[in-house]
Amino acid sequence: MQNNMIALLRRVGVALLLSTAALAAQAMEDESIYSYTLIEAGAGKARGQPGSVQSLAIDGWIGGDFNRLWYQFDAERRDGRTEASELQLLYGRYIAPFWDAQIGLRRDDRPDGRDYFALGVRGLAPYAFDVDLKLFVRDDGKVFARTRFENAFLITNRFIVTPSLGLEWSTSDVDSTVRRGAYQADLGVQVRYEFNRRVAPYVSLSRTLYPRANTGGDSATTQFQAGLRLLF
């Protein structure tokens, strides 16, 4: 119990430090403070698996053009149990038009309760591709990387299709699923209808591949969801 409390206080301290650094740098450069938060909450079904799946994704920042505190939260529940939960808190600094360098902390409460040091870049590549590149060093010294790409295509002003691609990398064999190299690929497409810029129901189809898995079971999962997208 005492160790859990110490770990919690340490993470709160890091969060406060990142927040203070971002906002102090913002104040020193005499910038106005803005914020952006995107929330996507959905529910659906994974092919060939019993029960329903619920997901929640929060992505946003507070700050200005040059200094920002970024926050990202992703969670997934299946049959009433949380199977995955990840939080990232990152200090972002402008390095080029539409690009931030990021440094901070990642915490996985599920499935294994681990802490990571995070370093990366995020921004818009040519042709409006949203790019998120991260390097993670886990508390046991193991190193991982994540690359994510997505782009929004307007069919009409309100009807939008967003394909995405994510890859997970490891520098070492961790278990039967997480193997050295690119051990996971996430392919997805989301279709949404924007009643206005802030509110949009959506449906999504995703497929997760484990090309290097050595489990003897399924090496891919397919999932369909419907949900609501909110922008603040």
For residue 219, what pLDDT is reported? Answer: 77
What does pLDDT average to over the chain? Answer: 88
pLDDT of 9 > 80? The answer is no
pLDDT of 142 > 60? The answer is yes
Please report where in the chains the tokens 């294994």 appear, as a residue. Answer: 112
Higher pLDDT, 160 or 113: 160
Higher pLDDT, 153 or 110: 153
Residue 27's alpha-carbon distances to 23, 33, 45, 95, 226, in angstroms, are: 6, 9, 46, 18, 41
For residue 2, what pLDDT is reported? Answer: 41
For residue 4, what pLDDT is reported? Answer: 47
Q: Are 208 and 186 in contact (CB under 8 A)?
A: yes
User: Tell me, what DSSP letter sits at residue 6?
Assistant: H
Determine which of 8-12, 147-151, 209-213 has the lowest per-residue pLDDT on average: 8-12
Q: How far apart are the first and last CA of the chain?
A: 37
For residue 16, what pLDDT is reported? Answer: 54
pLDDT band at 178 (very low <50, low <70, confident <90, very high): confident
> What are 61-113's pLDDT values in tens digits?
999 999 999 999 999 998 888 999 999 999 999 999 999 999 999 999 987 88
For residue 6, what pLDDT is reported? Answer: 45
Could you say which of 3.90.1150.10, 3.40.50.300, 2.40.160.40, 3.30.230.10 is the CATH number of the domain covering 2-231?
A: 2.40.160.40
Neighbours of 172 (CB within 10 A): 12
For residue 15, what pLDDT is reported? Answer: 55
> What are 34-70's pLDDT values in tens digits?
999 999 999 999 988 888 999 999 999 999 999 999 9
For residue 51, what pLDDT is reported? Answer: 83
Is residue 123 within a helix (H) or strand (E), and if so which, with residue range? strand 114-125
User: Tell me, what DSSP letter sits at residue 98?
Assistant: T
Is the pTM higher than 0.75? yes
3-state helix, strand, coil in the chain (%, to 5): 15, 60, 25
